[in-house]
Copies of this chain bind each other. A is one copy, B any other.
Amino acid sequence: MSSQLEQLRERLAEVADINQAAEIAGWDQLTMMPPRGGPQRAEVLGTLEQISHDKFVSPEVGRLLEGARSELEAAQQTSPDDDDWAMVTHTQREWDKARRVPTALAGELARASSLGQEIWVQARRENDYSAFAPVLEQHLELKRRYVDCFEGFDCAYDALLDDYEPGMKTAEVTRLFAELRDELVPLIDEVTQHELDDSIVHGHFPEDAQRRLVREVIELQGWNAEGWRFDDAAHPFATSFGASDVRITDRWEEEYFPSSLFGGMHETGHGLYEAGVAPELMRTPLGRGVSLGVHESQSRLWENMVGRGRPFAEVLAPKVSDIFGGQLAGVSAERLFRAVNRVAPSLIRVEADEATYGLHIIIRFELEQALIDGQLSVSDAPEAWNAKYQEYLGIDVPSDAQGIMQDVHWSGGLIGYFSTYALGNLIGGQLWKQVHSEIADLDAQLAAGELGGLREWLRVNVHQHGAKYLTDDLLHRVVGTGVEVGPFVQYLKTKLSAVYDIALV
């Protein structure tokens, strides 16, 4: 007779396998599936979610959790550093939440997510918000029913946020974002007084050449064909089916190569996190990144702190010179560094610079709360969106396709997700500061294209733990505090001082 812990592991491995099957089908939907496959795919994803949910929330898992806990307590194996104990406590937390959600609702959420994404693709292409509005309405309806499953959250949005950033509270995010906004607004005001010529990164950069560039750069990061794939997607994303099968995607804008370049580095950052999780955590609920905030800290650290940093420009400049030639022939690292760091309020979140990016997130954070609370109707949402873009970024939104429909998230019911991008910037700032204090010659390594030191530091300090420590615990282990705004803002000021040749303090 195997122990309760072993039986629990078996049960959870089965659930992990079903979830992975759903992720494979989801990846396929976004990269490979022909258009007419959508409705049947939604059925498959709905059924898998129901089965996975059913198996996970079963009373049997509850009993095994209790039994495994007793076994570990008896063996005095209750340190948060113990893999088994962490697995049991983490799973208990997820089980307590999941078992409140009826299986039928879990399936409905998955089905609506899959169908909504297909509708969004077409609605955005045709700039037809009226086609998208029912999707958003349905997701809000479902999410309200989902929120109603829980007790003990301070507000509806807390229940949603907790799915993406376990343990984080809306009030805490509100506080952090207020502090961030108070730093960003004057910074942007100051910086945008100055001119910066970024014309060298605009022009015509053939897709094939961009593919070559991105492939060379992500291979420096650690991408390899033995255990990774690299495909096209309308809205780039990363996923993984175990640490040895990591999939990233990218898209190609021929008039602006930084989009695919830094987008590729971003997704590879996500992929490295998944690829770095300790093998012994695989097929358990700890076998992936702990939260989207920590995940985004990895992607945005690689995208911006490495990719758009001054040291790595030494690597990128000769590459873009070789690969694109023309206006970039012989471009200096300094010139390239400046051009890819121009601060300018813009329409599209994923193309935003690091300073204005946070404002795009704050807009979504505020709108999501108003939508879920019912203070804002779906029909009024585009107007509210446009008003906030005018208020926060001072720009006019010319169309819903470039406005409220620009992101894939809401089409898939991902409400509460956006905040994690800005949290990721903050966490990334904290890790960036820490790794510099621990690896003295890090900048020299980056300038030489040696990215292994950074990758290994991240693997040891963050990746290997998977979901073993909640964000706050993980950060305390690595940097000694919870999420803070200071390091990111300081990083940004230092960088923009160099970019604009001004003194920001």
Say yes or no: A44-B241 contact (C-beta < 8 A), given A24-B28, A25-B21, A227-B37: yes
A129 at the interface (CB under 8 A from B): no
> Chain B nearest CB: distance from A37 CB in Å?
3
Question: For A246, what are the chain B residues with a Cβ–Cβ distance below 8 Å?
Answer: 34
A51 at the interface (CB under 8 A from B): yes
* Stretch in A10-18, A73-81, A304-312, A426-434 with 4+ CB within 8 Å of B: A10-18
A450 at the interface (CB under 8 A from B): no
Say yes or no: A34-B229 contact (C-beta < 8 A), given A24-B24, A244-B39: yes
Say yes or no: A47-B17 contact (C-beta < 8 A), given A225-B34, A227-B36: yes
In angstroms, Cα B229 to Cα A39, docked, is 17
Interface centre among A24, A41, A43, A282 (most CB of B within 10 A): A24
In angstroms, Cα B50 to Cα A47, docked, is 15
A32 at the interface (CB under 8 A from B): yes
> Chain B nearest CB: distance from A161 CB in Å?
30
> Is B241 a contact partner of A36 (Cβ separation < 8 A)?
no
A472 at the interface (CB under 8 A from B): no
In angstroms, Cα B242 to Cα A488, docked, is 49
> Is B20 a contact partner of A44 (Cβ separation < 8 A)?
yes
Question: For A22, what are the chain B residues with a Cβ–Cβ distance below 8 Å?
Answer: 21
> Is A36 a contact partner of B283 (Cβ separation < 8 A)?
no
Question: For A28, what are the chain B residues with a Cβ–Cβ distance below 8 Å?
Answer: 24, 28
> Chain B nearest CB: distance from A87 CB in Å?
18
Binding site for B on A (CB under 8 A): 13-14, 17-18, 20-22, 24-25, 28, 32-37, 39-41, 43-44, 46-48, 50-51, 225-229, 241-242, 244-246, 282-283
**Nearest 7 pairs between A and B by C-beta?**
A37-B245, A40-B242, A17-B47, A36-B244, A36-B227, A21-B21, A17-B44
